[in-house]
Structure 1
Amino acid sequence: MDYIKYIRKMVGNNYVILVAAGALVLDKNNRLLLHKRSDNGYWGLPGGFMELGESAEETARREIYEETGIILGEMELFNVYSGNSRQQILENGHKFYDVIILFKCKDFKGEITLNNESLDVKFFTLDSLPDRLFPSQKDIFEDLLSKIHKI
């Protein structure tokens, strides 16, 4: 079941709270995995919205696999993002506040693959991230770059 379609049938375009999960996937050279989103052409962290019955960890694992082909191993919590700064209105009129649960993962396997959600998937050094970063993740990238020495 697609939870967002389910909830939108009931509330229309009114504000809802949606929970998302993703991961900072870092390789042995401390490069960050990003995917170029097919919906808007921006580079962003892989992740997405939780489905009914999923845990945050399950959501992160499913979304990263779907968007990149990477299978996550051990993860640890990086941060939770919520509040007024997470208010969004999409082009289709859907309004929401998202709560993003973000993990850090250096333990992964698999080969990078593309699907209909990703135009490209690459690892980037933290000092040479692409210019066209997903605007709604700006606060996350700022947080990440301020904590570079702790990663």
Structure 2
Amino acid sequence: MSGYISDMRKLVGHRTLIQCAGSVICVDDKGRLLLGRRTDNHLWGYAGGSVEIDEKIEDCAKRELFEETGIIADELELFCINSGKEAHYIYPNGDEVSNVEIIYICKKYHGELKPQEEEIEELRFFRPEEITLDMISPPIRPVFEKYLSGIL
């Protein structure tokens, strides 16, 4: 959990916070998507997390990609914004968020895969046709629907 969100949780407990996040769908040269299995709900998702105070959203997305996967983004392309009721989520620990998530696509990157132990159980590249919505963490399912509908 980021510093800012962690600090806010100390003040508000589990109450709903508006959480601004930067996220990255990393795509390899075969069109496969890099996904990580989350340690909190054991479902799959792309790299992403909360913006810190005064941090640029692109820098947040790059930071989260590196922290969670070991991958360094060379280029990001804006894909979409995920917000609203579908992006509202209650984490397994009871923390509630209303997400405003800015998602990028990254096709140019370097680095070696290394999962962030606290947040990611496993990293794996998936062919788009292998991905089903029930395997994806709930607040980001609308993003996968949009992405997969555009390529399948």
Q: Which amino acid letter does the alignment assign opposite residue 110 of structure 1?
A: G
**Count of equivalent residues:** 149
Q: Which runs of 5+ in 1 are unaligned?
A: none
Map of 1:50-89 to 2, 5 A cutoff?
50-89=51-90
Is 1:141–2:138 an aligned residue pair?
no
Q: Which amino acid letter does the alignment assign opposite residue 127 of structure 1?
A: E
1:21 matched residue in structure 2: 22
Map of 1:85-124 to 2, 5 A cutoff?
85-116=86-117, 117-124=119-126
RMSD: 1.7
Q: Which amino acid letter does the alignment assign opposite residue 140 of structure 2?
A: Q
Q: Which runs of 5+ in 2 are unaligned?
A: none
User: What TM-score, normalized by structure 2, do the two folds share?
Assistant: 0.89
User: What TM-score, normalized by structure 1, do the two folds share?
Assistant: 0.90
Identity over aligned residues, as a percent? Answer: 38
Q: Which amino acid letter does the alignment assign opposite residue 139 of structure 2?
A: S
Per the TM alignment, residue 59 of structure 1 is displaced from its structure 2 partner at its CA by 0.8
Runs (4 or more) in structure 1 with deviation over 6 Å come to: none
CA contact (8 A) 2:26 2:33 kept: yes
CA contact (8 A) 2:26 2:107 kept: yes
CA distance in 2, matches of 1:97, 1:33: 25
